[in-house]
Amino acid sequence: MPTAFGAESTTDDVLAGVDLSGKRVLVTGVSAGLGVETARALAAHGATVVGAARDLKKARAATEVVRADAKNGGSLDLVELDLASLASVRACADALVAAGKAFDLVICNAGVMATPLGKTADGFETQFGTNHLGHFVLVNRIASLIKDGGRLVNLSSAGHRFSDVDLDDPGFERGGYSEFAAYGRSKTANILFAVEFDRRHKARGVRATALHPGVIQTELGRYMTPEIMAAMAASLAESAKTAGASNFSFKTIPQGAATSVWAGAVAAADEVGGRYCEDCHVAELQEDPNARGGVRAYALDPDRAKALWAKSEAMVGEQFS
């Protein structure tokens, strides 16, 4: 079995020989793409997976492969979750808490990307509200269900390098909205949330990490025109050339989901806790705009993480210990 994994590793590579029987995992966004593959790989290795999705009819159809591949007691149950509505988020969390079944791992996989300027049901900018605040409330409300020694995995993105969070104007009320700047803010928030959650919970062995799955052609890009996609691919190819790397190519979905299962079920907790991962390894700090990989220092800043936590609590009207 390989001792090291990389950009081309798949979920099956990473989980080869791993028995997840008896493990219970929550995965958000299981109606397409990475969420379905993440759930499939985990259930195929014996995990009991709870998949959350906004559209349950779509999720049931999309996850037939999960049920078909489940082995060694692996299974999948679905719960309704609309991250763009805190009423839905709270209802989902309350139902999970009422059921009282603990989780070994929570993977916050769902998200939106490069959406037109809009607002969630609660009036938050769509990407920040969906990608960060929805998960912030969900995870904190079910934190007591995460077992001692458990783990939280937040799917962020290399797109965090587009922008730091703006705690003074998270909703672009002062204007200047940019689809990718908003995406960058939300993805930076995903990392900072993991940093602070890790700090707050590591005394009981619960560790949190964030990651970049890679650039994959999934439904996440449904708001991007073919012209934007082509321009993005060209930019990535140029960055690869500048960095002296091989030509850029999209990852497959199994390759894209590999870092999620690696960080959640394979990597050592102390290795990934409070860190940012990519290509099945912990990323290094990187400020070079031409570099392909790495994480910006602002996304791992512990003081920034604490400030975002306080701002998020104020925005959603809840405080979490």
Query: What is the per-residue pLDDT for 249?
Result: 73
Q: What is the CATH number of domain 11-222+252-310?
A: 3.40.50.720
Q: Which residues of the chain have pLDDT under 50?
A: 1-2, 239-240, 243
**Cβ–Cβ < 8 Å for 172, 230:** no
Tokens of 201: 């919970």
Query: What is the per-residue pLDDT for 235?
Result: 52
Query: What is the per-residue pLDDT for 236?
Result: 52
Residue 107, strand partner residues? 27, 153
Q: State the pTM of this model.
A: 0.92
Amino acid code (one letter) for 217: Q
Dihedral over alpha carbons 122, 125, 127, 131 (to 10 degrees):
-40
Query: What is the per-residue pLDDT for 231?
Result: 56
Tokens of 111: 């998200």
Query: What is the per-residue pLDDT for 1?
Result: 41
Query: What is the per-residue pLDDT for 247?
Result: 61
Query: What is the per-residue pLDDT for 289?
Result: 86
Query: What is the per-residue pLDDT for 2?
Result: 43
Q: Where are the domains of the chain?
A: 11-222+252-310
Q: Which of 33, 31, 74, 27 is nearest to 51 (CA)?
A: 27
Q: Which of 273, 305, 274, 279 is nearest to 294 (CA)?
A: 279
Query: What is the per-residue pLDDT for 315?
Result: 98
User: Does residue 110 come out as left (phi exceeding 0), alpha (psi in the -120 to 50 range) or beta?
Assistant: beta
**Cβ–Cβ < 8 Å for 165, 308:** yes
Query: What is the per-residue pLDDT for 243?
Result: 45
| Residues labelled catalytic | 177
